[in-house]
Amino acid sequence: MASFKERRRSLSISSSITYFCKGSIYIAVGLAVILTSGRVDSKTEAAVLSSLSYSNLEYDTAMNWDYSVDLNEDFRVYWTIVNQDITFEIQVRTLGYVGFGFSKDGNQIGADMAVGWVDAGHTFFQDRYVDELGSAEPLVDPSQDYSLMKGYENSTHTVLRFRRKLNTCDNQHDIAITNNTMRVMFMYHDEDPSRGSSTPSALPNPLESWRPYRSVLLLQKPLTVLPRYEPSARILELRNQDVELPYGDDSQFWCTMFKLDKLDRKYHIIKYEPIFDSSWSYHYLQHITLYECQGNNIQLEEMSRGGGQLCMGAHSLQLGCNAIVASWTRGSEGFVFPAEAGYPLESKHNKYYLMETHYNNLNAEFEPYQSHRMTDSSGLKIVFTQDLRPHDAGVLSVGMDPNWRHIIPPGQERVISQGHCMEDCTGSAFSQEGINIFAVMMRTHQIGREVKLRQIRQNEELVPIAHDSNIDPNYQDFRRLSHPVRSMPGDRLVAECIYDSSSRKAITLGGLTMKEESCTVLTLYYPRQKSLTTCHSLPSLPTVLHSLGIEQLAMTSNPVVIASPPELAGMTLETRLLSYDWEHQFDKFQEATLRGSFKPICSGAHNEHLPISEHLIGYNKNISKTYREPRRCKPKRLFVTETIPQLELPVLRDLETNHLSEASVRSSRSSFIETLALSGSEASSCRLCATWLSIYITSLMYLAIVWLAR
């Protein structure tokens, strides 16, 4: 009679063999079905995969979000960045499908979208794109580069959390997330697709689900929220008083003087934001800029007692108000200073502040609704504190001076203009330690497409301080740099702007109005200095004449006419500008303006010119070492099915305020199952077969080891 241990060992071996055989049969049958069927439809594939346990994918998905934005009243987006991965969470007030993604220009054509929905406890999620025909229904991307992390819905909202690479290297259907102004596309509907749908036109009424795009800076340094425990913070509202708004698309500048003589000590501005007087104000407001005025002359006092006046910019008043304190542009929500700096307020030194407001209605559809003359009392809300930061902040303007010599030819896709801040000016004004630039605002008007702030030290071009190759004229905000950039005395700063004038039939000149153009980069920096607040340049008159093929002007004539060459003699400069053959002579014009001389314009807080720049003539530098953008993409492609090993990324504490609604959750987390089930491509089927085969072989090896060990 066998002993008890022998019987137990026999039973264990028998049980192992039984489990081994059953497991092998189940796996073999599943593998055989897939291999014999080749491709499986999404419903069958989902059913097969849903039977597997992915308990190892259930991990703490709480996140501590660095950024958030409300795209509209129903659609909130959170995101955070870890290395080259960006994680989004969208919370949408709907129980139907939702979509989120990007477009190069705000149009649907070429949009890169992530689309998902929750149905009967399952989350469905797909990487999609809009084809070149602009179809309302985004198509499924053959390369699934978005990775679903979490999905559920409650009684009012659908929530999806997903991750992707900043640059997926899918140049065919994906859009890289960069420092550029990103056009965020979003869509949502109150219905889900039918169960298991993955075929084209599966989304109910996709044309109705699209919403207007929003421009967002996704990669700037996270916003520093003002600490709630700062009891010394005070608020100052600076408002215009019933300014009559212009008709049509005319530009109007309004200047209002404020006297701040009750500040008993030095303060730091730590935040400012716009104040909109009414819903229609936003249609007209383009810029609001607050200037610090130097001195205590009678003109400043008299203007502070009035309600403001028409002006052509603050500089037109010749009041010594040339130091920018705060600047708001259309699309911005204001600015919060970093913990290391604040803008100084001190009545002992400066009592008067001039607020310049630029009104211009660019929305042609809004004008007919005017039944009477409208007025506006918008302005700025300033938050300041007596708890001083380590450094005083200042603003330095770099770019092209607004003048007719800044010429942008018509009918061109790429026109380059450059505004130089000469090394002579920075060398004269900056301290030996230099300045630390921590935020920039890049400004053009309507046809600007790209802006770069270049930094040249001796003959070497350094990494650009800021660069946006996809700017939006309706969203030009201060952007926080990832870390302060030091500019040393003797550095040259170059604001380089690229315009697309292909839609225009006539030339565009530089100026202040929206019909004219601008090329300006405002830099926020510390420590503050007052010697240099404006560092601009302007093409010299010889450069302008040479670029237009003019050799000499007859200066004694009125109006001034061209003296030579003979074929242009007697023609006015205006006539030459209008009759120039821009189509065939543009390259010569562009080369002449970039290689020609320019006049530096360097001035300080009192609007006085630096003595060193009075007779200075500038030229483009001969750069021996240029900066080249590094290549970001690697040859290896990443698919969603390859992302399971990446789940060890840091998981941070969730915020209680993350969710729009706190209603009970109706479905739990999902995994990558639905993503795989909805891909519907040959590549997906092949990867699925390979996955089953690897599971089968691994299972056989594991059971064999267990059996031998016993």
pLDDT at 339: 93
> Is pLDDT above 90 for 618?
yes
Model pLDDT, residue 250? 82
pLDDT higher than 90, residue 24 = no
Pairing of strands 112-119, 182-188: unpaired
- Tell me the average pLDDT of the chain: 82
**HSE of 679 in the Cβ direction (CA atoms, 13 Å)?**
24
Which pLDDT does position 17 carry in this prediction? Answer: 47
Compute the average pLDDT of residues 228-236. 77
Q: Which residue has the higher pLDDT, 549 or 632?
A: 549
* Average pLDDT over every residue of 516-535: 97
User: Which single residue is written with the structure tokens 């304190």?
Assistant: 325
Taking residues 6-10, report their average pLDDT: 46
Written as six digits, the tokens of 478 are 């201060």
> What pLDDT is recorded for position 626?
84
The predicted-structure confidence for 250-295, as pLDDT tens digits, reads as follows 889 999 999 998 888 999 999 999 999 988 788 899 999 999 999 8
CB 689 within 8 A of CB 676: no
User: Band of the pLDDT at 651, cuts 50, 70, 90?
Assistant: very low
Angle between helix axes 42-50 and 4-37 (nearest 10 degrees) is: 170
Q: What is the per-residue DSSP string for 95-121?
A: SS-EEEEEESSSSSTT-EEEEEEEETT
> For the residues 506-510, what does the mean pLDDT come to?
95
pLDDT (0 to 100) of residue 560 = 87
**Separation CA 274–CA 335 (nearest Å):** 10
> Which has the minimum average pLDDT: 197-211, 317-331, 440-454?
197-211
pTM of the model: 0.80
- Return the pLDDT at 370: 55
The conformation of residue 470, written as its DSSP 8-state character, comes to S
Q: Quick check: 468 and 450 in contact, CB under 8 A?
A: yes
Residue scoring higher pLDDT (318 or 46): 318
pLDDT per position as a tens digit, 73-99: 999 999 999 999 999 999 999 999 999
pLDDT > 70 in the chain, percent: 77
Query: What is the C-alpha separation between 89 and 96, in angstroms, rounded?
Result: 16
- Inter-residue contact 424 to 609 (CB < 8 Å): no
pLDDT tens digits along 550-606: 999 998 888 889 999 999 999 999 899 999 999 999 999 999 999 999 999 999 999
Task: Give me the pLDDT at residue 252, please.
Answer: 93
Q: Which residue has the tokens 């920075």?
A: 426
- The pLDDT of residue 681: 36
How many other C-beta atoms lie within 10 A of the C-beta of residue 361? 22
Least confident of 485-489, 601-605, 697-701: 697-701
Q: Residue 618's beta-bridge partner residues? A: 598
pLDDT grade for 644, boundaries at 50, 70 and 90 = very low
Strands 448-457 and 466-468: antiparallel
Q: What is the mean pLDDT of residues 190-204?
A: 76
> Model confidence over 347-402: pLDDT tens digits?
888 899 999 999 988 765 555 445 567 899 999 999 999 999 999 999 999 999 99
Structural domains present in the chain:
67-216 (2.60.40.1210), 233-389 (2.60.120.310), 394-540+596-619 (2.60.120.230)
Task: Give the mean model confidence (pLDDT) for residues 500-525.
Answer: 96
In the structure encoding, which two tokens stand for residue 84, read together? 């080259």
Residue from 153, 66, 80 nearest 116 by CA: 153
Is pLDDT of 650 > 60?
Answer: no
Q: Write out pLDDT tens, residues 401-419.
A: 999 999 999 999 999 999 9
- Tabulate helix, strand, coil % of the chain (nearest 5): 20, 35, 45
For residue 305, the model assigns a pLDDT of 93
If residue 196 lies in a helix (H) or strand (E), which one and from where to where? none
pLDDT interval class at 707 (50, 70, 90): low
Q: What is the pLDDT of residues 136-184, one digit of tens each?
A: 999 999 999 999 999 999 999 999 999 999 999 998 999 999 999 999 9
Reply yes or no on whether the pLDDT at 53 is more than 60.
no
Q: Is the peptide bond before 635 cis (omega within 30 degrees of 0)?
A: no
